[in-house]
Amino acid sequence: MTTAAARQRTQHAAQDSHAIVFDTVSKRYPDGTVAVEALDLTLPAGELTVLVGPSGCGKTTTLRMINRLETLSSGCIRIGDRDVMESDATQLRRHIGYVMQHSGLFPHQTIADNIATVPRLLKWPKSRITARVEELVELVGLDAGLIRRYPHQLSGGQQQRVGLARALAADPPILLMDEPFAAVDPIVRTHLQDELLRLQARMGKTIVLVTHDIDEAMKLGDRIAIFNQNGRIAQFDTPTRLLAAPADEFVVDFIGADRELRRLALQQLDPEEIDPGVHVAGSATVGDARTRLQQAGSSGVVVLDEAHRPLGWLDWERLRQADGLSRIEQLELTPWRHRLHERTNLRSALNALISAPGDVMPVVDDDGRYLGVISQVQLTRRLS
Amino acid sequence: MNDSLPALLQGLIGWLADPAHWQGSNGVLERGLEHIFYMMVSTLIGAAIALPIGIGLGHSGRGGLLAINLTNIGRAVPSFGVIIFVFLLVGYGVIPVIVALVALAIPPMVTNSFVGMRGVDPAIRQAATAVGMTPWQRLLQVELPIAMPLIMAGVRTSAVQVMSTATLAAYVGLGGLGRYLIDGLAVRDLVQVLVGAVLVAILAVATELLFAGLQRLVTARGLRHD
Amino acid sequence: MNPEWIASHTDDILAALIQHVQLLGLSLLFGLLIAFPLALLAIRWPRLYAPSLAITGVMFSIPSLALFILLMPLTGLSMATSLIGLTLYTLLILFRNIVEGLRGVSPVVCEAARALGYSRVRRLLQVELPIALPVIMAGIRIAAVTVIGLITVTALIGQGGLGQLFITGFTLSFTTPLVVGFVLSVLLAVAVDLALVGLLWWLTPWQRGRTS
């Protein structure tokens, strides 16, 4: 996407009723600490925006001002065209989902009652609440048998799922998440992150997520706002742009030394870069293959089956020693451990290439059919 | 007063077996009911005053120093002295004694309800606000149910303490089972004194068990970790 | 208030105060001596703890006067009756706090002490006990202040420390002795409580400057 298109999309989103707009927002505490200073920020509707930064940078305060858990000192926050300070705080909160670090579940209520909190506050009829709870339990991937249990009987990961279900209960257009995965172990965290992305692809809510983990930000965010220690935004951009054009030293430092690798993870193979390569059908003869190779000047050949799927690699040395009249499929081929999908990211491509025979990897389409090869040389060139 | 133990036990059983001792205005039933009445009335009035204060302070988070130290201060005040003091000031009357009992019942309930309310995890309180509960909804639906076990523990402490002090108040003329103790001591009737002590002890233990059961009853199932 | 009565009864007042302090000191001492081994047993066999807490809780609910009187057939109208009764009350409070205090010592610290080669007894005396001291001291403070009030009740069975002044006031319908007894009792409670806080401060230099 070009920058112009991105800008256009942002402008469009700002007019959308669920975009969140910060207009010179500041938050000062009575003791003089400044948490947030003159913040201008537009969080586009339907996107997942991550607020990230070192501790004490004001990212959580920024999040909490949206549903008025914190009161802003000056400036204004609008959701669509409504000023949050002009709406009733409790009503506002009932229409904005909130997920916190330690699930914040009510210990004296069952899982079902916890999930039903907001619908109950909104006085939904009982039957509708019951149906909604069942739906949510399934949506967030919880075992239906758990809903009669109490929070302390659940694991941290399960509690966090319940927390998400509670936040989504009344189907709010906006979801605020305050370090939602910080308290669970890394494996569970990865699961929950994947699940959130899966849900968001389906729901398209306006999500604001606070984290101190830049990896999490890069993985989840459509857009990322990096806060510096002074409660100001160092850069607000898409992950790709942050990596490609960090605004200043602070951003460079914050993203970390392996910025180039992270960047690769966000880039897909360019179809232009896929080399058609030298390939022969398994039914061809060794003689044919030799001729093709000599013409192309390559070190080996990709062997394909009848359905045009890569079978393995055959290098020049083995071709030279083989009987010119025998069929290729009768020879011993070197198989690849992976195949690269045409939409794979460059970081995985690089990893796969390191162990690939002949320093090349076949690229395939959705049906596994051969598209061409990519070589280590090509990728390394892009890295520099 | 130096009767042998078997003789005393025999006397005790004989006293209790005599139906005459169970009836009438100085009978066990009447005295027992009086005792329960003093305890209930004082605890209930005390609760009506103390719980709103403790819960209110705990909900708002103010006045913690006073609320927490009230019980310590109350503990340092000798209740026996308070009872005699009230008697010397206004003379004997059920109402002045009950007022004194109420005053002694208040501190543990204020402290416990305050501590109970403050003990609600701030994250849970914040979650209640974040999902859009009004302060009243937060209080009634979240904070109170979670604080209830400790609030009831305070009521239990007060009830037991009132029971004990009501026994002492027989010294200045209050009815109830304490009469047997005080009157028996006055006339050196060891059997009557023991009867009183046994009955008071039974009533106290019953009260303790009743309130322990009540405390368990008001503890939401999700809060029982056993 | 009648200053002349106070002046003419200084000796009586002093004797009552001294008896009060004696009863307090002895009941705390005996309470500690008994509660400590019991607490160690409850820690050694954790299954004993819940039932023993339930029993002590029920015993604690028995009104003091009734408890004193129930002991009379065994010990008569003697100082022993008061002392045993008072000791029972301190015991109940101390037992709970000693167990909670020792249980509250971080397992990491115990593990470290074991790894460093402390014997069981040395570990208890030099590591666990000092760390548990604040909780135990909290129990001693509650026990002391509670017992100071309870001692006045023993006046009804013939002992009573400052409680004797209450009785005198009551029988003479004269507030001065009552007020003197009352004020001294409260002052004693405050003084003992402060002294115990000071003792804890002196015994736990590592806790100073920390807000509890």
Inter-chain residue contact B223 with A105, CB threshold 8 Å: no
Inter-chain residue contact B194 with C69, CB threshold 8 Å: yes
Domain ranges within chain A, ordered by starting residue: 3-95+173-266, 271-383
The pLDDT score that the predictor gives to residue C210 is: 61
Q: Please report, as a single letter, which amino acid is at residue B184.
A: G
The pLDDT score that the predictor gives to residue A272 is: 77
> What's the distance, Cα to Cα, between the start and end of chain B in Å?
49
Mutate to test the interface with B, among C23, C65, C78 (most CBs of B within 10 A): C65
Q: CA A237, CA A233: separation in Å to the nearest integer?
A: 11
Inter-chain residue contact B126 with A104, CB threshold 8 Å: yes
Of B76, B78, B201, the CB nearest to C62: B201
Please return the burial class of A2, using the count of CB atoms within 10 Å of its CB with bins 0-12, 13-18 and 19+.
exposed
Strand A233-237 to strand A223-227: parallel, antiparallel, or no bridges (unpaired)?
Answer: antiparallel
Interface of B with A (CB under 8 A): 121, 123-124, 126-134, 137, 142, 145-146, 220-223, 225
**What is the architecture, at CATH level 2, of domain A3-95+173-266?**
3-Layer(aba) Sandwich (3.40)
**For C40-87, how does the pLDDT look when each residue is reduced to its tens digit (9 = 90+)?**
999 888 888 888 888 888 888 888 888 888 888 888 777 888 899 999
Q: Which chain B residue has its CA at the smallest distance from C65's CA?
A: B168
Inter-chain residue contact B128 with A106, CB threshold 8 Å: yes
Inter-chain residue contact A104 with B133, CB threshold 8 Å: no
Contact A157, A143 (CB under 8 A): no
C191/B contact by beta carbon, under 8 A = no
Of B131, B220, B225, the CB nearest to A117: B131
Q: Please report, as a single letter, which amino acid is at residue A350.
A: L
Of A90, A107, A110, the CB nearest to B133: A90
How many CB pairs (< 8 A) connect A and B? 67
Per-residue CA distances from A247 to A49, A262, B67, C58 (Å): 18, 16, 54, 70
**For chain A, what percentages of helix, strand and coil (3-state, to nearest 5) are there?**
45, 25, 35
Q: CA B105, CA B42: separation in Å to the nearest integer?
A: 7
pLDDT, mean of residues A107-136: 92
Contact C133, C204 (CB under 8 A): yes
C185/B contact by beta carbon, under 8 A = yes
Number of domains in chain B: 1
Tokens of C185: 């009792």
Residues within 8 A of B (CB atoms), A 81-100 only: 90-95, 98, 100
**Nearest-CA distance from A26 to chain B in Å?**
21
> What's the distance, Cα to Cα, between the start and end of chain A in Å?
23
Of B79, B80, B167, the CB nearest to C66: B167
The pLDDT score that the predictor gives to residue A260 is: 67
Q: CA C121, CA C40: separation in Å to the nearest integer?
A: 11
pLDDT, mean of residues A38-42: 89
Half-sphere exposure of C141 toward its Cβ, with a 13 Å CA cutoff? 19
C64/B contact by beta carbon, under 8 A = yes
**Nearest-CA distance from B101 to chain A in Å?**
34
Mutual angle of helices C64-75 and B190-217, in 10-degree steps: 140
Tokens of B133: 């509960």
The pLDDT score that the predictor gives to residue A127 is: 93
Helix (H) or strand (E) holding A11: helix A3-15
Inter-chain residue contact C74 with B5, CB threshold 8 Å: yes
pLDDT, mean of residues A331-341: 79
Q: CA A342, CA A345: separation in Å to the nearest integer?
A: 9
Structural domain for B206, as ranges: 33-179+202-223
Q: CA A363, CA A325: separation in Å to the nearest integer?
A: 29
Assign A16 a pLDDT band (cuts: 50, 70, 90): low
**Which value does ipTM take for this structure?**
0.86
* Chain C residues within an 8 Å CB radius of B6: none
A208/B contact by beta carbon, under 8 A = no
Tokens of B48: 């009506």
User: CA quadruple A75, A80, A82, A88: dihedral positive or negative?
Assistant: negative
User: Could you report the average pLDDT of every consecutive run of 10 residues in chain C (212 residues)?
Assistant: 85 92 95 93 87 84 87 81 90 91 87 84 87 92 93 86 91 91 94 93 80 48
Q: What is the pTM of this model?
A: 0.76
Per-residue CA distances from A20 to A5, A28, C169 (Å): 20, 21, 76
Q: What angle do CA B88, B90, B93 make, to 5 degrees?
A: 105
Of A94, A98, A108, the CB nearest to B223: A108
| pLDDT higher at A289 or C136 | C136
The pLDDT score that the predictor gives to residue A112 is: 93
Q: Which CATH number fits domain C3-204: 2.40.37.10, 3.40.630.10, 3.90.550.10, 1.10.3720.10?
A: 1.10.3720.10
* Chain A residues within an 8 Å CB radius of B146: 106-108
Inter-chain residue contact B127 with A109, CB threshold 8 Å: no
* Chain A residues within an 8 Å CB radius of B222: 106-110, 150-152
Q: Which chain B residue has its CA at the smallest distance from C157's CA?
A: B185
Of C66, C163, C178, the CB nearest to B88: C178
* A/C touch flag: 3 or more CB pairs below 8 Å: no
Residue with tokens 């249980």: C103
Mutate to test the interface with C, among B4, B84, B168, B180 (most CBs of C within 10 A): B84
Residues within 8 A of B (CB atoms), A 59-78 only: 67, 69
**Nearest-CA distance from B86 to chain C in Å?**
10
Strand A360-364 to strand A340-341: parallel, antiparallel, or no bridges (unpaired)?
Answer: parallel
Residues 6+ apart with CB under 8 A from A222: A44, A47, A48, A49, A238
Q: Which of A27, A364, A51 is nearest to A213 (CA)?
A: A51
User: CA quadruple C71, C76, C77, C83: dihedral positive or negative?
Assistant: negative
Quickly list DSSP for A303-345: EE-TTS-EEEEEEHHHHHHS-TTSBGGGSPPB--S--EETT-B
Half-sphere exposure of C44 toward its Cβ, with a 13 Å CA cutoff? 8
Q: B170 in a domain, yes or no? A: yes
Of C60, C166, C190, the CB nearest to B80: C166
Buried b (16+ CB within 10 A) or exposed e, A257-287: eebeebbbbbeebeeeebeebbbbbbebbbe
Q: Per DSSP, which regions of chain C are E strands?
A: none
Residues 6+ apart with CB under 8 A from A277: A298, A302, A360, A362, A372, A373
Inter-chain residue contact B185 with C157, CB threshold 8 Å: yes
A357/B contact by beta carbon, under 8 A = no
CB atoms within 10 A of CB B17: 9
Inter-chain residue contact B222 with A67, CB threshold 8 Å: no
Q: Which of A368, A283, A278 is nearest to A315 (CA)?
A: A278
Inter-chain residue contact B160 with C169, CB threshold 8 Å: no
C129/B contact by beta carbon, under 8 A = no
The pLDDT score that the predictor gives to residue A384 is: 55
Phi, psi for C78 (deg, rounded to 5) = -120, 170
Q: B18 in a domain, yes or no? A: no
Tokens of B196: 């009183």
Q: Which of B185, B96, A134, A247 is nearest to C81 (CA)?
A: B185
Quickly list DSSP for A168-216: HTT--SEEEEESTTTTS-HHHHHHHHHHHHHHHHHH--EEEEEES-HHH
Residues with pLDDT less than 70, chain B? 1-3, 225-226
A372/B contact by beta carbon, under 8 A = no
Q: Which of A237-241, A355-359, C74-78 has the lowest mean pLDDT?
A: A355-359
* Chain C residues within an 8 Å CB radius of B167: 63, 65-66
Q: Go through chain A and tell me how many residues it has.
A: 384
Inter-chain residue contact A98 with B142, CB threshold 8 Å: no
CATH assignment, A271-383: 3.10.580.10
CATH of the domain at B159: 1.10.3720.10
Report the largest interatomic distance among the alpha carbons of chain C, rounded to a whole angstrom: 68
Q: CA B177, CA B31: separation in Å to the nearest integer?
A: 5
Tokens of A158: 């399960």
Tokens of C138: 């909290």
The pLDDT score that the predictor gives to residue A11 is: 46
**For A195-222, how does the pLDDT look when each residue is reduced to its tens digit (9 = 90+)?**
899 889 888 899 999 998 888 898 899 9
Q: Which of A158-172, A248-262, B41-55, C196-210 has the lowest mean pLDDT?
A: A248-262
Inter-chain residue contact B131 with A121, CB threshold 8 Å: yes
Of A94, A101, A151, the CB nearest to B132: A94
* C2: three-class secondary structure by DSSP: coil
Q: CA B166, CA B40: separation in Å to the nearest integer?
A: 11
| pLDDT higher at A240 or A164 | A164
* Chain B residues within an 8 Å CB radius of A61: none
C58/B contact by beta carbon, under 8 A = yes
The pLDDT score that the predictor gives to residue A123 is: 92
